[in-house]
Amino acid sequence: MKNLSLMLLILSLSLTTGCSWLGWGDEEQTEEDSAGLTEKDFYERIQTSLNASNWTVAISNLQLLESQFPFGKYAEQGQLELIYAQYKSGDYESSIASADRFIRLHPQHPNVDYAFYVKGLSEISQTGGFFDSFLPTDSSMRDIGEARGAFTTLTELLSRFPESPYAADARKRLVSLRNRLARAEIHVANYYFTRGAYLASANRGRFVVENFQQSPAVPDGLAVMAQAYYLLEMKELADNSVEVLVANYPEHPSLDSNGQFDFERRLLADQDSWLDKLSFGVLKRIKPPSFDSRSVYDKVTREAELGEGNQSQQDNKRSIWSLLTFGLLS
């Protein structure tokens, strides 16, 4: 009987210890519970929740810590950890709001770069969808408002804190964001082709060439400009765009084996419709142009950019935009 009682006691202690180790024993503190705790004791309890990844409890207690000790020793550190806990819990909007608040209240804080970094991560996470983990999706086809926000946040981080320990990762994430934004512009340009808005298509292609020169979407931007200017009967601009495309991206799918851009061929459907057959080819079905060379250039560009690391020096060669404008805009 004594052995049985001893075994039950050991089992009870083991379960209690296990629950505490897994974070199940953590509970939200109320003002009454924390009334007798010092700031340090309260903060140490919060650290236990954070280490156990018990984000809900940690968030509640971090907010309570700030309300009870707004000017305490751990107040600012607690605000930073609140940003992180909200990000890890998936509450990205709250994490962004907390980061903005910290940046506004403590612009000279030695760890304000961390607030920028986690804010950028939260904005990037907002661009994802529920099915992204299960199905292949094209993120550039979705709304890119959050992606633009993340791009702005991480750009500011690098501008203000180039030596930040988060700078290297921020640069890599900016590469992905830049490529996504550039590809989204090409999608919009292709859509404008379907509406017959050729000038709008040309402007989108020009925007990609001018603002995203290291992106794999640049060759499609040039192809968009060439096709759109051709349809606008602006032959010189169309020829200039093709010239730059051939010189820099000879493998682009819009070019034939001789390096010629067949403007008319791209306007015909790949397969004959029943109307084509009935009219013996007299009536050809017209389709809007569409450009997407990711299968050719995305992998090559990604490898080149990641190999550069944190390279930020200017290239001494003339840019594509400089060539296209004959040096007027260099």
Residues with Cβ < 8 Å from 55, sequence gap 6 or more?
49, 85, 86, 88, 89
Length of the chain: 330
Cβ neighbours around 225 below 10 Å, total: 28
Q: Could you give the 3-state DSSP secondary structure of residue 255?
A: strand
90: left (phi over 0), alpha (psi -120 to 50) or beta: left
Whole-number pLDDT of residue 143: 64
Whole-number pLDDT of residue 142: 60
Whole-number pLDDT of residue 290: 81
**b/e map of 234-245 (b: 16 or more CB within 10 Å)?**
beebbebbbbbb
Kindly report, as residue ranges, where domains of CATH 1.25.40.10 are found in the chain.
27-129+138-165
CATH fold, domain 185-330, is 1.25.40
Residue type, 287: K
- Domain with residues 27-129+138-165, CATH architecture: Alpha Horseshoe (1.25)
Cα distances (Å, whole numbers) of residue 55 to 42, 51, 68, 252: 16, 9, 20, 49
Taking CA 290 as the corner, what is the angle to CA 136 and CA 213, rounded to the nearest 5 degrees? 80
This prediction has a pTM of: 0.70
Q: Are 290 and 193 in contact (CB under 8 A)?
A: yes
> Tens-of-pLDDT digits for all 330 residues of the chain?
555 555 555 555 554 444 443 443 355 555 445 556 788 888 888 899 999 999 999 999 999 988 888 888 889 999 999 999 999 999 999 999 999 999 999 999 999 999 999 999 999 998 765 444 444 455 555 667 889 999 999 999 999 999 999 999 999 999 999 999 999 999 999 999 988 999 999 999 999 999 998 899 999 999 999 999 999 999 999 999 999 999 999 999 888 888 888 787 555 444 455 545 555 444 455 567 888 888 877 664 444 444 444 433 333 344 444 444 434 344
Whole-number pLDDT of residue 128: 64
